[in-house]
């Protein structure tokens, strides 16, 4: 954690520019103009992969073990067992 804070403190002077218009107002991060942004470090890429793998494991595990979150808690009723009165269908002998 301390390493990340130290690294952030070291990069703060690199983020400042001579012109105040070149610094993004609410965007944060370094500003680039017609150049590619810096490539992230291998550690950052590894951390992103681990976090993404954990996220997908969490989602798929809970979809498999707890499908009620999507399908609902109660079983769907069988429509073939509903009566005409429950469906609002009038009797055949009614004119």
Whether this prediction's pTM lies above 0.75 is answered by: no
- For the chain, the domains span 2-72
pLDDT attached to residue 8: 60
What tens digit of pLDDT does each residue of 3-57 get?
A: 666 666 666 555 554 444 555 566 666 666 777 778 899 999 999 999 999 999 9
Query: Does 63 or 22 have the greater pLDDT score?
Result: 63
Q: Which two tokens stand for residue 67?
A: 């499908």
The span from the CA of 85 to the CA of 4, in Å, is 69
Mean pLDDT over residues 55-78, rounded?
90
Q: Say whether 85 sits in a helix, a strand or coil.
A: helix
Cβ-Cβ contacts under 8 Å for 48 (sequence gap 6 or more): 40
Mean pLDDT over residues 77-83, rounded?
88
pLDDT attached to residue 56: 97
Q: Say whether 7 sits in a helix, a strand or coil.
A: helix
Name the strand (E) or helix (H) holding 55.
helix 42-65
The span from the CA of 58 to the CA of 52, in Å, is 10
């Amino acid at each position: 954690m301390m390493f990340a804070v130290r690294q952030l403190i070291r990069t703060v002077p690199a983020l400042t520019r001579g012109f105040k218009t070149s610094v993004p107002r609410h965007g944060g991060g370094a500003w680039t103009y017609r150049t590619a942004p810096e490539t992230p470090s291998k550690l950052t890429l590894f951390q992103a992969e681990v976090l993404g793998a954990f996220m997908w494991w969490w989602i798929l595990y809970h979809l498999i073990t707890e499908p009620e979150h999507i399908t609902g808690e109660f079983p769907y009723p069988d429509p073939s067992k509903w009566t005409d009165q429950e469906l609002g269908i009038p009797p055949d002998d009614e004119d």
